[in-house]
Chain A
Amino acid sequence: MQSLPILRDVSPLGRIVLGGTVAVSLLSIVLEWGVGVHGAPIFIVSAAGILGLAYVVGISTERLGAFAGPHVGGILNATFGNIAELIIAFFALQAGQLEVVKASLTGSIIGNLLLVLGASLFLGGLKNGLQRFNAKVAGLDSTLLVLAVIGLVIPATFAASLGAEAGIPRQAESILVAVVLLILYFGNLFYRFRHPAEVLGNELEGHGGPSWTARQALGVLGIAAVFLAVLSEQLVGAIDPFIEAFDLTPFFVGVILIPTIGNLAEHLVGVQLALKNKVEFSMAVSIGSSLQVALFVAPVLVLLGIVVGKPMDLVFTSLEVAAVAVAALITALISLDGESNWLEGALLLGVYTILGVSFFFLP
Chain B
Amino acid sequence: MQSLPIVRELSPVGRAMVVATLAACLVALAMEWLLHVTGTPVFVASAIAILGLAYVIGLSTERLGAIVGPQKGAILNATFGNVAELIIAVFALAAGQLDVVRASIIGSIIGNLLLVMGMSIVVGGLRHGIQRFDSKIAGLDSTLLVLAVIALFIPAVFVATSRAAQPGSVGRIDESLVIALVLLVLYFVNLIYRFRHPSELEPGEAHHSGPQWTRRQSIAVLAIAAALLAVLSEELVGAIDPFVATFSLTPFFVGVIIIPTIGNLAEQLVAVRLAYTDRIEFSIAVATGASLQIALFVAPVLVLIGLAIGQPMDLAFPPLEVAAVGVAAAIAALVSLDGESNWLEGSLLLGVYVMLAVSFYFFV
Q: List 26 A-B contacts (CB under 8 A).
A: A317-B161, A318-B157, A319-B154, A323-B154, A326-B150, A326-B154, A329-B150, A330-B143, A333-B142, A341-B197, A342-B193, A343-B193, A347-B144, A350-B182, A350-B183, A350-B185, A353-B182, A354-B150, A358-B154, A358-B155, A362-B158, A362-B161, A362-B162, A362-B171, A363-B162, A363-B163
Minimal beta-carbon separation of B182 from chain A (angstroms)? 5
Report the bound CA distance from A360 to B163 in whole Å: 14
- B16 in contact (CB, < 8 A): no
- B95 in contact (CB, < 8 A): no
Report the bound CA distance from A16 to B153 in whole Å: 45
> Would you call the interface of chain B mostly helix, strand, loop, or mixed?
helix
Query: Chain A residues near B185 (CB, 8 Å)?
Result: 350
Report the bound CA distance from A354 to B148 in whole Å: 11
Minimal beta-carbon separation of B186 from chain A (angstroms)? 5
Q: Given A326-B150, A347-B144, A361-B174, A319–B161 Cβ distance below 8 Å?
A: yes
Minimal beta-carbon separation of B321 from chain A (angstroms)? 16
How many chain A residues sit at the interface, stated as a range, is 20 to 34
B197 closest partner in A (C-beta): A341
Report the bound CA distance from A330 to B153 in whole Å: 13
Minimal beta-carbon separation of B48 from chain A (angstroms)? 39
Interface size on B, residues (CB 8 A): 36
B interface, CB within 8 angstroms of A: 136, 139-140, 142-144, 146-147, 150-151, 153-155, 157-158, 160-165, 171-172, 174-175, 178-179, 182-183, 185-186, 189-190, 193, 197, 200
Q: Given A353-B182, A361-B175, A330–B158 Cβ distance below 8 Å?
A: no
A339 closest partner in B (C-beta): B136
Across the A-B interface, give the 9 residue pairs with the lowest CB-CB distance, nearest first.
Answer: A361-B171, A343-B193, A363-B164, A357-B178, A361-B175, A322-B157, A350-B186, A326-B150, A318-B161
Minimal beta-carbon separation of B317 from chain A (angstroms)? 14
Query: Chain A residues near B147 (CB, 8 Å)?
Result: 330, 347, 350-351
Contact B154 A322 (CB under 8 A): yes
> Would you call the interface of chain A mostly helix, strand, loop, or mixed?
helix
Query: Chain A residues near B200 (CB, 8 Å)?
Result: 130
Query: Chain B residues near A198 (CB, 8 Å)?
Result: none
- A355 in contact (CB, < 8 A): yes
Report the bound CA distance from A322 to B319 in whole Å: 14
Query: Chain B residues near A360 (CB, 8 Å)?
Result: 175
Minimal beta-carbon separation of A336 from chain B (angstroms)? 9
Minimal beta-carbon separation of B335 from chain A (angstroms)? 15
Interface string of A314-347 (1 = CB under 8 A from B): 0001110011001001100110010001111011
Query: Chain A residues near B160 (CB, 8 Å)?
Result: 318
Report the bound CA distance from A274 to B171 in whole Å: 36
Besides A342-B193, A354-B179, A358-B175, 14 other A-B contacts (C-beta < 8 A)? A318-B157, A322-B157, A326-B150, A330-B147, A330-B150, A341-B197, A343-B189, A344-B143, A347-B147, A350-B182, A353-B182, A358-B154, A358-B179, A361-B172
Minimal beta-carbon separation of B178 from chain A (angstroms)? 4
